[in-house]
Amino acid sequence: MRIDEEIEGVSASRKHLVFAYYVTGHGFGHATRVVEVARHLILAGHDVHVVTGAPDFVFTSEIQSHRLFIRKVLLDCGAVQADALTVDRLASLAKYLETAVAPRASILKTEVQWLTSIKADLVVSDVVPVACRAAADAGIRSVCVTNFSWDFIYAEYVMAAGDNHRSIVWQIAEDYSHCEFLIRLPGYCPMPAFRDVVDVPLVVRRFRRSRKEVREELGIGDDVTIVILNFGGQPAGWKLKEEFLPPGWLCLVCGGSDTQELPSNFIKLAKDAYTPDFMAASDCMLGKIGYGTVSEALAYKLPFVFVRRDYFNEEPFLRNMLEYYQGGVEMIRRDLLTGHWKPYLERAVSLKPCYEGGINGGEVAAHILQETAIGKNYASDKLSGARRLRDAIILGYQLQRVPGRDMAIPEWYANAESELGIGSPTCEVSEKSSLMNSCTEDFEILHGDLHGISDTMTFLKSLAELDSVYYSEKTTEKRRECKAAAGLFNWEEEIFVARAPGRLDVMGGIADYSGSLVLQMPIKEACHVAIQQNHPSKHRLWKHVLARQQAEGRNPTPVLQIVSYGSELSNRSPTFDMDLSDFMDGDKPMSYEKAKKYFSQDPSQKWAAYVAGVILVLMIELGVRFEDSISLLVSSSVPEGKGVSSSASVEVATMSAIAAAHGLSISPRDLALLCQKVENHIVGAPCGVMDQMTSACGEANKLLAMVCQPAEVLGLVEIPGHVCFWGIDSGIRHSVGGADYGSVRIGAFMGRKMIKCAASMILSRSSSTAYGTIDELEDDGYELLEAEASLNYLCNLPPHRYEALYVKVLPETILGETFLEKYDDHNDPVTVIDPNCSYVVRSPARHPIYENFRVKTFKALLTSANSDDQLTALGELLYQCHYSYSACGLGSDGTNRLVRLVQEMQYAKSSKSDDGTLYGAKITGGGSGGTVCVVGRNCLQSSQQILEIQQRYKDATGYLPFIFEGSSPGAGKFGYLRIRRRVSLDPNE
């Protein structure tokens, strides 16, 4: 329902009503918009009791009335910010648990009593979840007024924190379900817990003084250009400098600290300054996106230079609205902190914001609330009543989806691509022949082969469309990324394209760093990278990069510019740029440690380490010098956080493209080892090498067999025609950089050190007179002990030797400090022992020893005769591997549920009568979430059973898993494409 009509004022002829208005504890933005709604209710003669944690002056400076009552209570915490630009996801969930979950029973009891005592006619929430439940318990109707809800925001945080926090989201959504309907503000996020919605215009605070009056008070003439700095709290340790501003500009600083010293061209505003008046007196605004800043910038037609916030999931939707009305310019955080403001500010004042919609949302909302309080019904009867989140995700999300914004929906809430068809920003054409014809029409392929791969054809088609995108005024997220990409390339010059797939860990998993044999399958989903190198004088530079070089008075220097598609899926910046000279430390390339710190400066651009880090590795390891500018476009269909090596596919595709463009001859194996250095030393993730090796060396429909000592490829194992592997995503985000993976790896290396020391001790005892002589040991036994005393890889220890001599040597757990005192070091170059942390040792050490044996057995079974016994044995090995992972602490509720569903399907009566089709499943990769690998018979019934498992998982959790099915060639097999855009002969084009 949409309400657009102009409302002259909320009628004061209605009976005197009492409103209880709950305000979330997330910043002042909510409080300021509540003020506007409350002001109109009070003007109509009603009492408004505001429940808030915000300071009184936010309300009393705008409303002086005996009908305003302020009750200082904080019932939710919002998002906890590590600094002005970064949300701390784990701290946010922990704070919410402390604020709203632990004392929930007490909160409900208190609020019900209070609502009864004030005789509230209606509860209004912006957007405190428990307020809706308290209203229901008190028998009072409730309405929410907001542009986002906390179940949507926290859902993405749960992926980082783990499945045990998911109950928070369910509880919040159930609380909201007691709300009668939602008054939805512009710039809204998907809010699946609400079904009945009434849309209203922007809620905007009014002016008190004119632009002229404010400038006269400040003593500033109308010829001076003013930018208002509005961050609601500035980054720690930030020092503002005079040269940040263009000549003749002044900056009004909101929220500056009392001790902060400012240059002469910066003016500090009082903490209780009425911001709308100063916005009206300014020519543009520099700040972070929030509902208040965006709505008022649009209403006052004030150009807005904004900087992204990490994990602030409301931001993409507000930014879309801001950019749609041509009112926004994005500033890179690095340029904010280093003071490179001028090109952004000068660009902003050239904008002509064009928002012409209503700005009386406060008045309209107040009218709806009054009508609701006296009995009018805005909700549909058929969908009223409590709804669980499981139901709300599926139906509510689909009902309220906004075309063009799908890419901005956090992964945990999004339905899978296989159901909704949401993909990366490429043109989807069903027929390969049509794609092939289109590709050859658009590009001349000077080198390489498309191999009939449809996603490569689709990627080339998307490249061909960039010219039209560049001149398009549409500003959806897809267009936004493509527009940045369109500015990358000189279309008259050659472009190189590389492709690298993700991988499904069939067997081997985390035993790779212990030297195991692993079996890995390259999947159908892959990353494409397009690269072009140009002389710096001919390189197409983005405006802010060009302005930076001009400001420094330098001749054109080599620059790296990167565009990464799909940035909104991870709430990160879509672009990255740097001078290639930044990689130099004097006359040598910078160290890996310095590079790691360099890319960690801005969390929203940390992703660039996977791409740009390739260049530094080539400089350090191969002595390559990059004298030309480089443009890179990265487009990956390998989903992130699902344990299928999205990072490895990006690294391998990038290095393959750079090598091709620069004429470097690097074997697939060596390329994979170089990519591992990117991830280990620059990204800082302690992964093994199997991911990169599979992405580089794999072949379609074959398993790559590799002994990770460090990376000996044994060959390719044909997948028998009657056997099929699937991957099923659990929806729980996997991260190889997470604490669980790292601590398990440390435990395994501790176990190896302890086994080596135990073997040395046995040898020394056997050599002493107290324990006999060396002759008492058989020659074979002596040689075995010598080998074990110098054990390079745990997987070289046979299971029977482990059981015979060492199982009792290893403790279940050990404190880091205790281990370091006794053993000095665990000899792993990519992990560090925390002295205060307790590590599990026995299970992480046992897993690779037995896993290596399981993988060898699995490989042998694949070449055996086709039989049910063969498939049953393959499945049993997967199950054993899964439970060994769990013993290490790397399991998760989601992956365990999927394995149980496979077991239920396998042992169902119908499966037994049909000779069975699914035989086993295991968690993959680094564990703690991610994807489950399933083995089964290659037949239609197996595919049907996989889809049934997908549906059962959705019914149980509300999440529809992504299914990985199919395979594709690795980067080495694909090679590279060298292409040139065809020149049109049509004079009308």
Active site residues: 691
CA-to-CA distance for 398 and 406, rounded, in angstroms? Answer: 11
User: Phi, psi (5° rounding) for residue 828?
Assistant: -115, 115
Counting every residue written for the chain, the total comes to 989
CA-to-CA distance for 481 and 841, rounded, in angstroms? Answer: 46
Question: Which residues make beta-bridge pairs with 409?
Answer: none
Provide, for the chain, the percentages of residues in helix, strand and coil under a 3-state DSSP scheme, each rounded to the nearest 5: 45, 20, 35
Do residues 728 and 946 touch, judged by C-beta distance below 8 A?
yes
DSSP state of 443: E
- List the structure tokens of 954: 């959705």
Q: Tell me the residue type at 528.
A: H
DSSP string of 668-687?
HHHHHHHHHHIIIIII----
Do residues 564 and 611 touch, judged by C-beta distance below 8 A?
yes
Q: Which residues does 34 contact at the CB level (< 8 Å), separation at least 6?
A: 21, 23, 50, 52, 59, 126, 145
Do residues 505 and 643 touch, judged by C-beta distance below 8 A?
yes
CA-to-CA distance for 889 and 286, rounded, in angstroms? Answer: 46
> 660-676 burial, b if ≥16 CB within 10 A, otherwise e?
bbbeeebebbebbbbbb
| CB-count burial class (<10 Å; 0-12, 13-18, 19+) for 944 | exposed
Which residue from 641, 570, 634 is spatially nearest to 604, judged by alpha carbons? 570
Helix (H) or strand (E) holding 907: helix 893-907
CA-to-CA distance for 729 and 894, rounded, in angstroms? Answer: 9
Which residue from 368, 272, 299 is spatially nearest to 37, judged by alpha carbons? 368
- List the structure tokens of 257: 């600290």
* Pairing of the two strands 86-87 and 81-83: antiparallel
- List the structure tokens of 798: 């046979």
Helix (H) or strand (E) holding 307: strand 304-307
Q: Tell me the residue type at 719.
A: I
Which residue from 492, 574, 578 is spatially nearest to 541, judged by alpha carbons? 578
Q: Which residues does 775 contact at the CB level (< 8 Å), separation at least 6?
A: none
How many other C-beta atoms can be found within 10 angstroms of the C-beta atom of residue 651?
A: 34
CA-to-CA distance for 417 and 455, rounded, in angstroms? Answer: 15
941: Cα separation from own chain's centroid: 35
CA-to-CA distance for 630 and 643, rounded, in angstroms? Answer: 30
How many other C-beta atoms can be found within 10 angstroms of the C-beta atom of residue 248?
A: 9
715: Cα separation from own chain's centroid: 35
> 314-340 burial, b if ≥16 CB within 10 A, otherwise e?
bbbbbbbbbbbbbbbbbbbbbbbbeeb
CA torsion 340-341-343-344 (nearest 10°) is 130
Is the bond into 689 cis (omega within 30 degrees of 0)?
no
CA-to-CA distance for 394 and 955, rounded, in angstroms? Answer: 10
Q: Where are the alpha helices (DSSP H) in 714-778?
A: 739-767
How many other C-beta atoms can be found within 10 angstroms of the C-beta atom of residue 840?
A: 21
Do residues 315 and 571 touch, judged by C-beta distance below 8 A?
yes
Q: Tell me the residue type at 767.
A: S
